Chain A
Amino acid sequence: MLSLIVSEGKDLTKEEKQRLRKEKKQQKKIKEKKDDKASQENEKEKKPVTSAAPASQPPTQPTPTKTKAELKAERRARQEAERASKQTKKGETGQQAATSKPKAPPSDLQPVVKRLPEHIQVDNPDVLKKLAKKLERQQIPLRSDYGYKVSLFSHLHQYSRKAPLTQQLSIPSTVIHPAIVRLGLQYSHGIVAGSNARSVALLHAFKQVIRDYTTPQNEELSRDLVNKLKPYISFLNQCRPLSASMGNAIKYIKKEISNIPSNCKEDEAKNKLLNCIESYINEKIILAGVAIAKCAIEKQKISDGDVILVYGCSSLVNHILCKAFEKNRKFRVIVVDSRPRLEGKEALRRLVQKGISCTYVLISAVSYILPEVSKVFLGAHALLANGYVMSRVGTSQIALVAKAFNVPVLVCCETYKFCDRVQTDSFVSNELDDPDDLIVTRKGTTPLEGWENESSLGLLNLVYDVTPPDFVDLVITELGMIPCTSVPVVLRVKNVDQ
């Protein structure tokens, strides 16, 4: 171990800190090599020996023999099973440990395989193991899936609201900041819902974290804070999968933190970060909403005599309609709602409070009322790079029916929700909500009560779906009105700016 004489109150100089970091990295590498070698030895031993007797110890093992033998036996059993399945697929892959690098290429000559995110590979045991290891290292409990999953969606997580992650946390939790624990609970119970609300809540929680943060000795704020945030993000991801807008916000914060110069004093740095977050919320969310409302109203997208259809509860669409009403446009609104969330009731409440005349229907009546409608306004959860709109489940249905009736469909979305992903269907990447939400009691009976006991019954509660750009006529962003196919241009321009 490198020993440094640190006098009281004096921090290490930059070079010393770098040296310390390098030492730590080297030690980590040595440890990993030892682990690798151990498992390699295990594999090599397995090839000739098929009996269950543990082999002799490799000479470089530092930990006690007894537990190592148990672990070895466990590992060997797992590896045997994996080996059998892998051999049927692709033969020997060489000396790589199955658990340490599931996604790396088998040899250097093959092209690099793009890594898929973990949350859409739930049926792949390697990925799950990797996730479990990562969470163990970060000291965050792993949330287990609940209930039978419909086979088309078995690659996604499905959690139960009755088993929140916080029950498995020790109190007081030293690893996770209490503001983040509260946020995670709010997410998993649906108290904070809607992509704008979730992003703003996330940014406020991060502000609290930064305020309470102190740089430990011998560390730099720009590196250490980013590392501190990683377990928080994993925890929030376990409570409820992150949305695209939250992902963009987190990327921005991480970039800002790593751009803090190392000679900056801690208070200054913290103030700077707090101001950055504040301005991000202000510019990208609040002012963008104001600009979008202005654009929609001034360019006559809401005119007198209009009948506007909205779906669910989008904070942005509600804001636009309220502003248009304030500017004395005469229109009426039809609110379409769907089970199990019934978010339309909240939208209805907000609009009626303003004095806008509203009608309320369920989504099954959409083809009945569409002949009356002159425009459809939809909110978006994210806009994908190929022009597809990801939004609450049911949105693509409304867009489809509107297209059949030749009614223009307008999507309102701030640019911070644009993401680089490409998706053409709703299966690949989605979110499965608690299936127990679908159980409803009518007239004293609950038909689906014992659904877990039926072996052939599966309940599916999807959260998002994806609308193709052919069904969307116009996207209103704070940069102006663009067709759905111009989203990659905006992304390109944004990247150039940054």
Chain B
Amino acid sequence: QDELMLVEYFRDQMKKDPDMASAVAAIRTLLEFLKRDKGETILGLRESLTSATDCLTGVDSSVAVSSGGELFLRFISLTSLEHQDLSRCKKVMEERGELFLEKISMSRTKVAKLCHTFIKDGAKILTHSYSRVVLRVLEKAAAEKKRFSVYVTESQPDAAGQHMAEALRKLNVPVTVVLDAAVGYVLEKVDLVIVGAEGVVESGGIINKIGTYQMALCSKAHNKPFYVVAESFKFVRLYPLNQQDVPDKFKYKADTLKTAKNLSEEHPIIDYTPPSLITLLFTDLGVLTPSAVSDELIKLYL
């Protein structure tokens, strides 16, 4: 019963602000859950928050939701909870939660500020599917009066690339939609590749919409820089060695996981790009090389 309320609230948040990352909506939901929670012990509170995160992952199986939830839990419990009174502890945790939310709402702006300088005047950019962070970066670059043109892949099966092209046309940026299969064809014309990420893993690699790995391989072959833009709450404690190693619960949509009988007949919606193919990662923690991601993760999680 509690779960239904949770899911309702989550879906509401997503509907209210379509520009918000699903992870941020999840964290808002968890904060609300914390406020309404009537538990008696801190341990119980932590357990119920973990189960709430699991429940939300069941609704939206993206990596960012689970990583955001875990980071939220870590952030609020990182303070000293030595108060005798449980309600005081909860207040402290709620305040930390608000602080966390505030920090991450600023993260997209920070990333945009760091990244737009790498877009030179007259640049041709290739991007993949619909990413709100990349959109923000390109907005900032356009606001800085830079002239650039964008190639977007169609990104089937949901044609999210068309959505991205629409948003870019509104910014008066010349945009061309290309087939997913035309990435190798178009790469000789572009100067740089920028993609978003659904999750950044411990090795420094990323998990993103399917087709990203191909794009990264091709840009490596063409010696074009491959940039990734991601907020820090997307850092997740996974370490996949290859495509097969990514857990199934992230590869397919939540509904597919529940209804499909044979997963090997379903198409995965994400893939893993190893760190050797990535040039730089732009995060709100700074501009990082893939090997620095692990250092940042150690600082965040330990």
What residues of chain A have their CB less than 8 Å away from a CB belonging to chain B?
A: 299-301, 375, 408, 410, 470, 473-474, 479, 481-483, 485-486, 489-490, 493
Contacts and interface: CB of A to CB of B under 8 A. Distances in A.
Given A375-B241, A482-B294, A489-B298, 8 more contacts: A300-B245, A301-B241, A410-B241, A470-B276, A473-B203, A474-B241, A482-B202, A485-B291
Contacts of B247: 300
Interface in B239-260: 239, 241-242, 245, 247
A489 B294 contact: yes
B291 A481 contact: no
Nearest to B289: A485
B275 interface: yes
Given A300-B245, A474-B203, A486-B291, A481 B239 contact: yes
Nearest to A481: B239
Contact of B239 (A299, A375, A489, A493): A299
Chain B contact-residue range equals: 10 to 19
A479 B295 CA distance: 13
Contacts of B295: 486, 489
- Shortest Cβ-Cβ A-B pairs, 5 listed: A485-B291, A408-B241, A486-B294, A481-B239, A489-B295
B204 interface: yes
Interface in B197-213: 202-204
B296 to A, nearest CB: 10
Given A299-B239, A474-B203, A474-B239, A483 B294 contact: yes
A479 B202 CA distance: 13
A473 B276 CA distance: 10
Contacts of A408: 241-242
Interface of B: 202-204, 239, 241-242, 245, 247, 275-276, 291, 294-295, 298, 302
A483 B241 contact: no
A473 B203 CA distance: 8
Contacts of B298: 482, 486, 489-490, 493
Most buried by A among B241, B245, B295, B298: B241
A483 B245 contact: no
Contacts of B242: 408
Contacts of B291: 483, 485-486
Contacts of B239: 299, 474, 481
A481 B245 contact: no
A346 B267 CA distance: 45
Nearest to A409: B241
A490 B295 CA distance: 9
6 contacts: A300-B247, A301-B241, A410-B241, A482-B202, A483-B203, A483-B291
A251 to B, nearest CB: 24
Contacts of A482: 202, 294, 298
A283 B298 CA distance: 21
A453 B247 CA distance: 62
Nearest to B275: A483
A251 B137 CA distance: 51
Nearest to A408: B241
B295 to A, nearest CB: 5
A473 B202 contact: no
Nearest to B242: A408
Contacts of B241: 301, 375, 408, 410, 473-474
Nearest to B205: A483
A482 B292 CA distance: 11
A256 B276 CA distance: 43
Contacts of A470: 276
